[in-house]
Chain A
Amino acid sequence: MSVWLFLGLLVAFSTGIRMQPLGSVVQRAILAGVLAVGLLVFLLLGAGFVTELFGVLLAAVVANLLTENYVPQRYRIALAIAVAVVFFLAAPWLLENFRLFQFSRVAIWVIVAVGLNILTGYNGQISLGHGAFVLIGAYTSAILMDDQQQLGFVDANAWPFWTTIIAAAVVCGVAGFALGIPALRLSGPYLAIATLALVISLPSILRKYDGLTGGAQGLFVKQPPPPPGLAGVLERDEWLYLLCVGVAIVMMLIAWGILRGPLGRAFVAVRDSEVAAAAMGINVARVKIAAFTISALYAGVAGSLLTQLLGVITPESVDLIVSINFLTAIVIGGLASLLGAVIGGFVLVLLPAEGPDILGNIPLFPDNFLQKAPGAIQGAVVIFVVLLMPFGVAGSYHRFIGTPPGRIIAALRSIPAGLRARLARTREDIVWAWEDSPFNRRSSKSASGEEPDP
């Protein structure tokens, strides 16, 4: 806990969050107070991992509200980057091993989410089948790293782990390219179903060709040990953690570069209007295939890292649910936003792992419900987010920091009235629906003997 508070204060003081400079000191103080109370409630829910994480983020916002006028922004950004780097490098010594493992998985899912967000968020092509690309990447790595000569036609010499990351990227890029071509003819729900077919069929194909893939048992690989120079300093899990996070950061930077350039603009243009994009001289087909290729490549890199991290890969390692959850993650995190992809990665790992603990800390919350229906939490979160944050957590965050404090306070104060109005409307709707319904025997319609057309 103390580590987290310390870090929280550091991050709080340093993040590059730019609040709207409008708003008086009093307004800022009120807003900070509201958030601080929220923070307190959160911490009272228990000293769980996620509550601390949220606490840190809230503390960052509060501190920014109070200090922004006094510390120049470039110092904040520089300090924020420094803190982030120090934190990620120091994490192996700050965190327990299972947290490290969790963070490694977060890093891997962030890579998938970034790739999927390029395809779905920025380019508007829905894929439910990214799990298939993750599996292809994972198996590519596993097959190439295999040194037990169980595979007939692949070179028995194990490839170095890092070359298999590149190989997985290439193989998945090619697979994405190949799928991108037929995908040109599909859109919306049709494309979603077609990609779903991919992730449904792949595991059975993997089981069928067991000479290459090890069948249902999957393949075991030797996890890469720390490089010679670091062997004394790092344990294997710590090295794997740094590897995953490092690759994730590199992939984020690449995505950032692509998205702010001409290709990134073309992705969005094609999503918003194919005709207008074509009129700009954009080759719509090529851009859509490019999005599929890049997106699959990201999933491939993630799959490769998954193999290294787990040391074993089976056809069930990435199942249908996980594949669909990738889409859920970027919707919760925020479509067409890199921050959204990062949040999505955290949600994928931490929500199922920590959600029950948090809710369990709420007094009177039925414990046995949580044990018997853990998936319900995720469902509730999804519904909550799509109803209240249509642009995901990242979208709400951007709106929050882009709105002057005075307006936020006004909005908060109008919540009760808004809720009452909505409730009244809903009640009216229900009454009307009942009066028109065929179950209502006293309805004016049926009383007048009107029959619907056959």
Chain B
Amino acid sequence: MLKIEGIEASYGPVKALHGVTIEVPEGSVVTLLGPNGAGKTTILRVVSGLLRPSAGRVEFDGRRIDRRSTEAIVRMGISHVPEGRQLFDEMTVHENLMLGAYTRNDRDGIKADIKRLNGYFPILEERREQPAGSLSGGEQQQLAVARGLMSRPRLLLLDEPSLGLAPLVSREIFRILRQVNREEGITIFLVEQDATSALSFADYGYVVETGRVVIEATSDKLKEDENVRRAYLGY
């Protein structure tokens, strides 16, 4: 579904990616692991069009997207839930969800989707008219994911959904994400620091270090890999 081939990208003079190749098959959950500053977030930014790669190509459903605008990419069915949630704090929960549906015009469909998402995220219905900034961390992350789903994506890019959350809360988020992946058939491409949760959730994983993919394997294999275990799983 998503093919990233040899992309390179830089922030000004600093090169962040040195030829990264990744593939995300339809319906799967793929995770990116790696230390801070490895370029995980940069990869997501390139996929969603927030950053132009200087070389390489990104394909979605066989169509090249690395020269397209973020707007066009969202319309094609890729939704990016950015790092640190990036909610619109002063706006209500409902307004945040409506912004997630910005690219759509079907009013009834939007209404139906909000209703359906309330099934996954019941807390959001309760908090509907509250400003997003007043929610707890876990609720905010739920809202960020729900907002990302409002554009009806087929591929969801998640940047560290467990960031700053208590283990129990992040487990709940992953439970919901698995449900979304299975029931809605949405492919998930996930960046995560919490390797234990990520590997138990994902089918396949890539380990990125200093802008390069150093290991790739199925989650089960990664869990057994000596280096991955020592560096990321801590046992």
A residues with CB within 8 A of B: 262, 265-266, 268-269, 272-273, 275-283
Contacts A262-B98, A273-B88, A275-B50 aside, 7 further interface pairs with beta carbons under 8 A come to A269-B91, A272-B91, A275-B86, A279-B50, A280-B100, A281-B73, A282-B71
| B-chain residues with CB within 8 Å of residue A277 when the two chains form the complex | 99
Given contacts A262-B102, A266-B102, whether A281 and B88 have CB atoms under 8 Å apart is no
**C-alpha gap A302/B154 in the complex (Å):** 47
How many residues does chain B have at the interface if contact means C-beta atoms less than 8 Å apart?
Answer: 27
8 contacts between A and B (CB under 8 A): A269-B88, A275-B86, A279-B48, A280-B100, A280-B102, A281-B70, A281-B71, A283-B71
Tell me the total A-B contact number using a CB cutoff of 8 A: 63
Interface residues of B in 100-140 (CB under 8 A from A): 100, 102-103
Min CB distance B78 to A, Å, is 10
Of A265, A269, A273, A279, which is within 8 A of B80 by CB? Answer: A279
**C-alpha gap A280/B71 in the complex (Å):** 8
Contact A268 B71 (CB under 8 A): no
| A-chain residues with CB within 8 Å of residue B73 when the two chains form the complex | 281
Shortest 7 CB-CB contacts between residues of A and residues of B: A281-B74, A276-B86, A281-B103, A279-B80, A278-B70, A283-B71, A280-B102
Interface flag for B203 (CB, 8 Å): no
**C-alpha gap A281/B69 in the complex (Å):** 9
Interface residues of B in 50-93 (CB under 8 A from A): 50, 69-71, 73-75, 79-82, 86-91
Interface flag for B141 (CB, 8 Å): no
| A-chain residues with CB within 8 Å of residue B70 when the two chains form the complex | 278-279, 281
CB nearest to A273 among chain B residues: B86
Min CB distance A279 to B, Å, is 4
Contact A265 B90 (CB under 8 A): no
Contact B98 A281 (CB under 8 A): no
Contact A280 B89 (CB under 8 A): no
Given contacts A272-B90, A275-B50, A279-B50, whether A265 and B99 have CB atoms under 8 Å apart is yes
| B-chain residues with CB within 8 Å of residue A278 when the two chains form the complex | 49-50, 70-71
| A-chain residues with CB within 8 Å of residue B162 when the two chains form the complex | none
CB nearest to A286 among chain B residues: B71
Interface flag for B95 (CB, 8 Å): yes
Contact B99 A266 (CB under 8 A): yes
Interface flag for B187 (CB, 8 Å): no
| A-chain residues with CB within 8 Å of residue B88 when the two chains form the complex | 268-269, 272-273, 276
| B-chain residues with CB within 8 Å of residue A276 when the two chains form the complex | 82, 86-88
CB nearest to A260 among chain B residues: B95
Contact A281 B82 (CB under 8 A): no
**C-alpha gap A280/B98 in the complex (Å):** 10
